Amino acid sequence: MDFRIGHGYDVHALADSLPLVLGGVEIAHTKGCVAHSDGDVAIHALCDALLGAAALGDIGLHFPDTSADFAGIDSKILLRRVAELLREKGYEIGNVDCTIRAQQPRLRPHIDAMRRAMAGAMGVDDDRVSVKATTTEHLGFEGREEGISVSAVALIYRPADGKFNLQFRIQNCLYLYDQTPNRDAYEAVENNLSTPCLRAHDI
């Protein structure tokens, strides 16, 4: 199994009277994120974590904020596309974890809705998606309510070719061993395989 881990981080400034969208959920608040897209800073950090795990660059590379195609776009569409990109490379999403730093509003009531929304966009079960929120005790730009930051990590995996091969090789090895009780004959068969078979005592 080929495991990969990725990290993402994003910041958006807050401004009055803009919609606040976090983790795919619109949240009632007096301020929202300034952005080219819908400003979903949580999904942006998550996209970067997923892309980073697969060494596929970052969200700006795939969805440039200079492109009119992405003006005001629902970031769940971007997350869905990122999940597709990973699957095109043979990866599946193991789990993701996001930490949102915002002084206001209180995010606890929205956590499960965010998990469902992001899990839906990625095509995974809700329990593979964790969202946590914290204030910064009024410290820093988040604490002054000038912006929101999010960090995210993602674990992805790709069943290695060797997994199938190993199962096949074990079965093959047991078969050969049964068919060739003569140890010398067994060794000869094993030595003629393009990749060495497991020794009987390794199985």
Find all residues with CB under 8 Å of 105, minimum gap 6, and list them: 20, 27, 28, 29
Distance CA 62, CA 79 (A): 11
Question: 100 with 133: CB under 8 angstroms?
Answer: yes
DSSP annotation of 33 reads: E
Judged by beta carbon, residue 71 or residue 160, the one nearer Mg ion is 71
CB of 162 to Mg ion, least distance (A): 38
CB of 79 to Mg ion, least distance (A): 12
Judged by beta carbon, residue 10 or residue 190, the one nearer Mg ion is 10
CB of 75 to Mg ion, least distance (A): 8
Give the 3-state secondary structure of residue 133. Answer: strand
Distance CA 73, CA 82 (A): 14
Judged by beta carbon, residue 33 or residue 173, the one nearer Mg ion is 33
Judged by beta carbon, residue 44 or residue 76, the one nearer Mg ion is 44
CB of 36 to Mg ion, least distance (A): 8
Q: Which uninterrupted H or E stretch holds 96? A: strand 92-101
Distance of CA 66 to the CA centre of its chain: 25
Judged by beta carbon, residue 10 or residue 142, the one nearer Mg ion is 10
Find all residues with CB under 8 Å of 58, minimum gap 6, and list them: 48, 51, 52
List contacts with Mg ion (CB under 5 A): 10, 44
CB of 18 to Mg ion, least distance (A): 14
**Closest chain position to Mg ion (CB):** 44
Tell me whether strands 147-158 and 2-16 are parallel, antiparallel or unpaired: antiparallel
